[in-house]
Chains A and B, each alone.
Chain A
Amino acid sequence: MGTYIPGTKQEQKEMLSEIGFGSMDELFGHIPDEVKVKGGLQIPDGMSELEVRKKMTKLAEKNKVFPVIFRGAGAYRHYIPSIVKSVLSKENMMTAYTPYQAEISQGILQSIFEYQTMICEITGMDTSNASVYDGGTAAAESVAMCRERKRAKALISATTDPKVLETVKTYCYGNEMELVIVPQKDGVTDQEALRELIDKTTACVYIQHPNYYGNLEDAQAIGEIAHEAGAKYIMGVNPISLGVVKTPREYGADVAVGEGQPLGLPLAFGGPYVGFMACVSAMTRKLPGRIVGQTTDHNGKTGYVLTLQAREQHIRREKASSNICSNQALCALAVGVYLASVGSEGLKNIAVQCTSKAHYMAKELEGIGYQVENQGEYFHEFVTVSETPAEKVLSALESEGILGGYPLDEHRILWCCTEMNSKEDIDRAVSIIKGV
């Protein structure tokens, strides 16, 4: 069996006797017998490090790692610079707790302050929090933060990623906000329907941009509809797109949220990821979660602390804006290192490569008779329609080590390209598909 307990049996015995106990059983003697476990836990015996390593490696090998991926739908494979992994493995940061003791947590606090600055920079918003669990929960929290006494209805576009939509739905089931889905038309939010659904009880309008199908929405116009009705406007955005696509700020959003995974985090079977949340300054005090602020110490030296805590659960208890009491600090650190590594030109370049490659692939697929479903603008994802069953296409690609797009139904596939996909990969995939 493996153990991480330094104390030898002899030491344990000595310590026990020093505090007046003859055995561990005696130490636990005050616990009523009727609740005690009888006969031990029914789990396997412990193992040596080597045995565990073999067992876990075997499990990992049961999964298939695809060298080439054309699937996104909420999780994206981008290039992760080596420096990101190197920084994340720093034990002092990885094994620390939430930075309550600011004097010995300046490194983490400063890294969060820098993260907040970068999130504001890419989104164009005024204030960012220290991050939340992921994109879905960021969306759900953003809807909750827009609630007002007489506005408890949220409108969310049907073009939102279904997982995000489901998460928002669950949070609304909890806090009893009314959630209404705005239908889609031609792969984007139906603005006419939105106009009909919105009223003076609407707290917010949420859209995803680029949306689940990769399409760019008429984000400016949707924002105007929201604001005319006195509702807040939330945009869920892909952070990579912000290298080249207009920011939520420019479209008039009050709150910008999204999944930070594309910024330096591996696919990792869905997590851990990181949700970012940023807003206009008027809403700063409604933001949930941790926020780091700059201040000075007793000697006038600049330092960083968790701040605006009057919003939070450990002070407000049942009156808090959210129950969240952590952030994804290590993932936020990854985002910070990633954005520092790529820089502004780099982020723009990645965004341009993503959208360029997607357009190239779409054109090539059209060339072999696949129809791109919607006619509007898209970023790095798009939907094709074809008579050929999606399942056939995907298994042909799979046998060549390629994870194809995500099947939306029997004939529609949601494709994604990133800077990871070379022209050669795309050409090879298209020729395999052609042969199906």
Chain B
Amino acid sequence: MLIFEKGKEGRGLSLLPECDVEVVLPEEKNRRELALHLPELSENEISRHYTELAKKCHGVNDGFYPLGSCTMKYNPKINEDMAALPGFTEIHPLQPAHTIQGCMEVMKTLEEYLCEITGMTNMTLQPAAGAHGEFTGLLLIKAYHESRGDKKRTKIIVPDSAHGTNPASAVMAGFSVVSIPSGPDGCVDLEKLREAAGDDVAGLMLTNPNTVGLFDKNILEITKIVHECGGQCYYDGANLNAVMGTVRPGDMGFDVIHLNLHKTFSTPHGGGGPGSGPVGCKEHLAQFLPSVLVEGTDELSFKKAENSIGEMKDFYGNFLVVVRALTYVMTLGKEGIPEASQNAVLNANYMMHKLKDLYTMAYDEVCMHEFVMSLSDLKKKTGVSAMDIAKGLLDNGIHPPTMYFPLIVEEALMVEPTETESKETLDEAIQVFRDLYALAGENAEQLHNAPVRTPVTRLDEVGAARHPVLKYEY
């Protein structure tokens, strides 16, 4: 039941005292006449309503969440405690500098740690999400070429295995997109890259490990090809959880990167946000960074970069997410950060190893933090699709892997267990995957109809788009 269908006129909370000054209303021409309908409920009703909604959600706390490319690792509780400190939550963003030294130090410290982890020289914490970071990074590339009077660089090279945000961000930044096909091994096809590389190329966007979970061994050659044609190399940090402490994007030749604090650095996804997408860069791009940079040692202050591209959003980024990420990095430290990545890779390889006799692996070799299975063989044999297996997992309390991504693998399921899952959880999940495989052969119909134990069964998405109902009508 919707919240609008609950409660009664006249119910409500007693939140505020009476107005203690003379009441002033806007003049009639500026006064609201339109009726305003909002729920009228007691606090108990509100509390129960949202508790009911919460029961119809699946968070990392509810169970295994091997959602590829999303890094659904455990969200430590100390992070939440620290983000709730009044010394952070009650601070106005426009307070005088001497009253926000703690906030500045949080920003500066995290910037420094993230630079070290990624091999970058500078970092902005302003972007609010991964896609927002991509847009920011691409604008740095744009500003860089323009500053050199190089106006003909209008293209961004994006592999066909890339996330949809990459091409969309490139267009928002005013570039056109050149899509290059991946090689048969799922990695960048060097020949195709050489063909695309020219004096009209502004840059290349890439993840490494790539979207099929493999480390592209030619990475130094790739970034060299792009640099030699005068382009810049952009690292999409979606998969950084595989390589922290082992490899740094900066050392692979990347000039600019974005990170996802809500993936790699353990901050909660919040059901779709708030996240945080810091952008790091090498020295030659630092002059274009947006927002403010923290300067100084004893007395910290904000400074604008010399040729800043401007503001990507209001204020300095999703600060409370930054607080959580700093708490996490401080907790893990120099040994814990690499150990997290090592175990993420171990868990992925363990699961892959235990499934590959049944499920077809898109690329049967050592994977990084995630692996991609292709269910097209199973579909041919039994009619059971990647979607059906995913829905079958729901009935077993497991959040499905990412489905139908990357686009270069048919009937793809992309599995990313993360490092915070125990061997028992992995073993249980492996058994569920194996049972579902067997069920596909025995009773495909049952999987076509899955899920049946969830609050609702499969929903009519076509109908939803054809006859949109996007709000409750009073």
What are the residues of chain A within 8 A of B33 when measuring CB–CB?
A: 246, 250
A223 to B1 Cα, complex, angstroms: 38
Nearest first, the 8 closest Cβ-Cβ pairs linking A and B are A270-B315, A60-B87, A46-B333, A62-B102, A330-B270, A270-B93, A272-B274, A95-B59
A306 to B309 Cα, complex, angstroms: 33
**A92 contacts chain B at the CB level, 8 A cutoff:** yes
In the complex, besides A133-B129, A166-B311, A342-B13, 16 extra interface pairs with C-beta distance below 8 angstroms are: A31-B217, A59-B102, A64-B99, A87-B50, A104-B399, A121-B36, A134-B314, A170-B290, A268-B320, A269-B91, A271-B128, A271-B314, A325-B164, A328-B274, A330-B273, A345-B12
Contact with A along B294-336 (1 / 0, CB 8 A): 0000000000000001111111111111010011011111111
Closest A residue by C-beta to B73: A4
Pair A176/B113 contact, Cβ less than 8 Å: no
What are the residues of chain B within 8 A of A98 when measuring CB–CB?
A: 269, 271-272
Q: Name B15's contact: one of A79, A101, A111, A303 (CB within 8 Å).
A: A79
Query: In whole Å, how far is A266's beta carbon from the nearest beta carbon of chain B?
Result: 4
A sample of 26 cross-chain residue pairs with beta-carbon separation below 8 angstroms, ordered by A number, consists of A7-B423, A27-B342, A28-B246, A37-B251, A41-B338, A46-B332, A74-B315, A81-B15, A95-B268, A95-B269, A96-B60, A105-B56, A144-B172, A167-B313, A219-B30, A249-B34, A266-B90, A270-B314, A293-B468, A297-B457, A305-B464, A319-B171, A326-B130, A330-B273, A340-B38, A352-B25
Contact with A along B6-44 (1 / 0, CB 8 A): 000000110110011111111101111110111111010
Closest A residue by C-beta to B107: A269
Q: Name B274's contact: one of A55, A69, A330 (CB within 8 Å).
A: A330
Pair A353/B168 contact, Cβ less than 8 Å: no
A135 to B76 Cα, complex, angstroms: 29
Pair B59/A271 contact, Cβ less than 8 Å: no
8 A Cβ contacts from B416-474 to A: 419-423, 449, 451, 454-461, 463-465, 468-472, 474
Q: Name B24's contact: one of A299, A328, A359 (CB within 8 Å).
A: A359
**A307 contacts chain B at the CB level, 8 A cutoff:** yes
Segment at the interface with A among B182-190, B278-286, B346-354: B346-354
**A19 contacts chain B at the CB level, 8 A cutoff:** yes
Q: Name B21's contact: one of A53, A341, A357 (CB within 8 Å).
A: A357
Pair A34/B24 contact, Cβ less than 8 Å: no
Query: In whole Å, how far is A371's beta carbon from the nearest beta carbon of chain B?
Result: 19
A193 to B118 Cα, complex, angstroms: 49
Segment at the interface with A among B132-140, B196-204, B227-235, B378-386: B132-140
Query: In whole Å, how far is B185's beta carbon from the nearest beta carbon of chain A?
Result: 12
Query: In whole Å, how far is B387's beta carbon from the nearest beta carbon of chain A?
Result: 11
Name the residue in B91, B134, B465, B472 with the highest tally of chain A Cβ atoms < 10 Å from its Cβ: B91
Pair B38/A92 contact, Cβ less than 8 Å: no
**B153 contacts chain A at the CB level, 8 A cutoff:** no
A343 to B38 Cα, complex, angstroms: 5
Pair A63/B468 contact, Cβ less than 8 Å: no
Size of the chain B interface, CB-CB below 8 angstroms: 192
Pair A75/B13 contact, Cβ less than 8 Å: no
What are the residues of chain A within 8 A of B346 when measuring CB–CB?
A: 7, 12, 15-16, 24, 27
What are the residues of chain A within 8 A of B174 when measuring CB–CB?
A: 173-176
**A184 contacts chain B at the CB level, 8 A cutoff:** no
**B100 contacts chain A at the CB level, 8 A cutoff:** yes
**A431 contacts chain B at the CB level, 8 A cutoff:** no
A197 to B307 Cα, complex, angstroms: 29
**A93 contacts chain B at the CB level, 8 A cutoff:** yes
A108 to B336 Cα, complex, angstroms: 33
A342 to B43 Cα, complex, angstroms: 10
What are the residues of chain A within 8 A of B372 when measuring CB–CB?
A: none
Pair B40/A271 contact, Cβ less than 8 Å: no
Q: Name B92's contact: one of A77, A173, A296 (CB within 8 Å).
A: A77
Pair B272/A128 contact, Cβ less than 8 Å: no
A322 to B405 Cα, complex, angstroms: 20
**B148 contacts chain A at the CB level, 8 A cutoff:** no
8 A Cβ contacts from A383-436 to B: 394, 398, 403, 406, 419, 422-424, 426
A331 to B276 Cα, complex, angstroms: 14
**A315 contacts chain B at the CB level, 8 A cutoff:** yes
Q: Name B53's contact: one of A11, A64, A81, A111 (CB within 8 Å).
A: A111
**A103 contacts chain B at the CB level, 8 A cutoff:** yes
Query: In whole Å, how far is B396's beta carbon from the nearest beta carbon of chain A?
Result: 11
Pair B31/A246 contact, Cβ less than 8 Å: yes
A51 to B349 Cα, complex, angstroms: 34
**B225 contacts chain A at the CB level, 8 A cutoff:** no
**A310 contacts chain B at the CB level, 8 A cutoff:** yes
